[in-house]
Amino acid sequence: MKKLRIVVTIAVTALSLLALSAPQAEAKRHPSTPQDSVPFTLNASVLDSGQQVVSLTLDTGRLPVRASSLSKGTFSVHAKGTNPLPGAEPVYGTFDADRTVTGVHLDRRGRIVIELEHGYNVAGASTFAWGTGMDAMGRNVMLDLTYTVTQNQPIQLRNGASVTFSSFTQGHVVDPEVDAFGYGSAAGLNYRLYTPHGWGKRPLIVWLHGGGEGGWAQAQDNDLPLIANRGALGFATPKAQSIFGGAYVLAPQATDYWLNDPAMGYSAKLKTLIDAVVKKHHIDTSRIYVVGASNGGYMTPRLVVDNPGFFAAEVPICPVVTFGGATMLTDAELASVKTPTWVVQAKSDDTVPFLANGQHIADTVPGALLSAYDDVTWAGVTYPTHWSWIYVARNAPTTDKGQHIWQWMAKQSLKHGHHNHS
């Protein structure tokens, strides 16, 4: 992920303080001879709880490492995630912690891969944290990451030699799913765009992030709409791409938060941005879908109301109808919607009350579908009750007839008046 700030660190091993280079023949005569400093990458993946560093890859492919000499105890890893913000902006989720090594192996290129424990609430794994002071709304903040690798025992080579690396040098964060999205800017908004493989006109899925992924004065970083959750990435997976027949996935970023549309004119800016993307790429204008969560769950029907007959379907997730005592979407506006609509929200949502928001949209938009969950639980893990976007990112919601939400979306089209609400 190109834009993530990286702090370079060198960890001197406990076994050697010397940085000497030696050819393999020399190493065979002197088994403990230290080798050059080894660069390593941080391998990240976006989990349901957001992006984490899941492994490290050491650039050792030039050495004939004996795989059987590697074990969980060969290396130790320490991670430090610090607040990059100037001043005293409070950030929750910084860390200075040892990472648990769960395995060490060679990849297909002969490089050493250090697998790290990861998952919901695993200390020291995340690439971002929660800033609590920005605009009284809160924002996710990319952390400055410093990883320290220590070699605890020599590594055996296939020629009988053993090696001890003198030091390790941190490189880039690599996340293939995130890195597959290109960068762009239009109508005053930054965006990320996934381009499908193949030829011909393809549908466009617009993902609108939540409040925590918006930009603000000190962090206009449009990686956040991709890494905070799998909302946008889910539609770029092979499974989703197969269902949609290949689809562009557009993830714009608000310069503050979508709920500030009355002041910022986000609805008009987004329409201009979408039109610019459509003009530049081979997009089937009869199959443009909009999906959004929380703040984006407000902006989703806002766009549909403001642009009747433009979108083939909408999916508001844990959406906002009322905010701070203000009505953001009137009943008359919602009742005017003719676009196929599927609302997804947990009934126990403790951030956006279900009855006044998600349930209200489902009751007011003609023919709207509703998936209302008791809580947010996936793969045996219970998440905060506001995180119902996880269900959509995993294609979990179904109609009474068993049709999943991605398949339902893919069937919707403006061509020949084809709209299928059920």
What pLDDT is stored for residue 27 in this prediction? 38
> Which residues neighbour 89 within 8 Å (Cβ) at sequence distance 6 or greater?
83, 131, 133, 134, 218
> Which residues neighbour 22 within 8 Å (Cβ) at sequence distance 6 or greater?
30, 33, 34, 35
Per-position DSSP letters for 312-379, written without gaps between them: SEEEEES--SEETTEESS-HHHHHT--S-BEEEEETT-SSS-TTTTHHHHHHHSTT-EEEEESSEEET
Counted residue by residue, the chain has a size of 422
Q: Is 246 exposed, middle or buried (0-12, 13-18, 19+ CB in 10 A)?
A: middle
**How far apart, in whole angstroms, are the C-alpha atoms of residue 387 and residue 359?**
16
- The token pair that represents 127 in the structure block: 């690439």
What pLDDT is stored for residue 89 in this prediction? 67
Cβ 303 vs Cβ 330: under 8 Å = no
- Decide if pLDDT at 263 tops 80: yes
What pLDDT is stored for residue 217 in this prediction? 62
Q: What is the pLDDT of residues 151-209, one digit of tens each?
A: 999 999 999 999 999 999 999 999 999 999 999 999 999 999 999 998 899 999 999 99
Q: What is the mean pLDDT of the chain?
A: 90
Q: What is the pLDDT of residues 31-50, one digit of tens each?
A: 444 567 899 999 999 999 99
pLDDT band at 136 (very low <50, low <70, confident <90, very high): low
Q: Which of 82-86, 88-92, 143-147, 296-300 has the lowest mean pLDDT?
A: 88-92
Per-position DSSP letters for 190-221, written without gaps between them: EEEEE--SSSS-EEEEEEE--GGG---TT---
Instruction: Report CA Rg, the chain.
Output: 24
CA atoms within 13 A on the CB side of 400: 4
Strands of the sheet with 91-92, listed across from one edge: 91-92, 128-131, 139-142
Three-point CA angle 83, 88, 94, nearest 5°: 25
Q: What is the pLDDT of residues 373-382, one digit of tens each?
A: 999 999 999 9
Cβ 386 vs Cβ 346: under 8 Å = yes
**How far apart, in whole angstroms, are the C-alpha atoms of residue 340 and residue 295?**
20
Per-residue pLDDT, averaged over 53-80, amounts to 97
Per-residue pLDDT, averaged over 241-259, amounts to 96
- Decide if pLDDT at 28 tops 50: no
Cβ 319 vs Cβ 349: under 8 Å = no
Per-residue pLDDT, averaged over 256-276, amounts to 97
98 has which bridge partners?
Answer: 78
Q: What is the pLDDT of residues 299-317, one digit of tens each?
A: 999 999 999 999 999 999 9
156 has which bridge partners?
Answer: 162
- Decide if pLDDT at 13 tops 70: no
What pLDDT is stored for residue 131 in this prediction? 81
Q: Is 6 exposed, middle or buried (0-12, 13-18, 19+ CB in 10 A)?
A: middle
What pLDDT is stored for residue 11 in this prediction? 42
Closest CA to 211 of 384, 341, 351: 351
Domains present along the chain, CATH in parentheses: 24-175 (2.60.40.2180), 180-415 (3.40.50.1820)
130 has which bridge partners?
Answer: 92, 140
> Which residues neighbour 204 within 8 Å (Cβ) at sequence distance 6 or greater?
247, 248, 249, 250, 274, 277, 278, 281, 283, 284, 287, 288, 289
Cβ 190 vs Cβ 236: under 8 Å = no
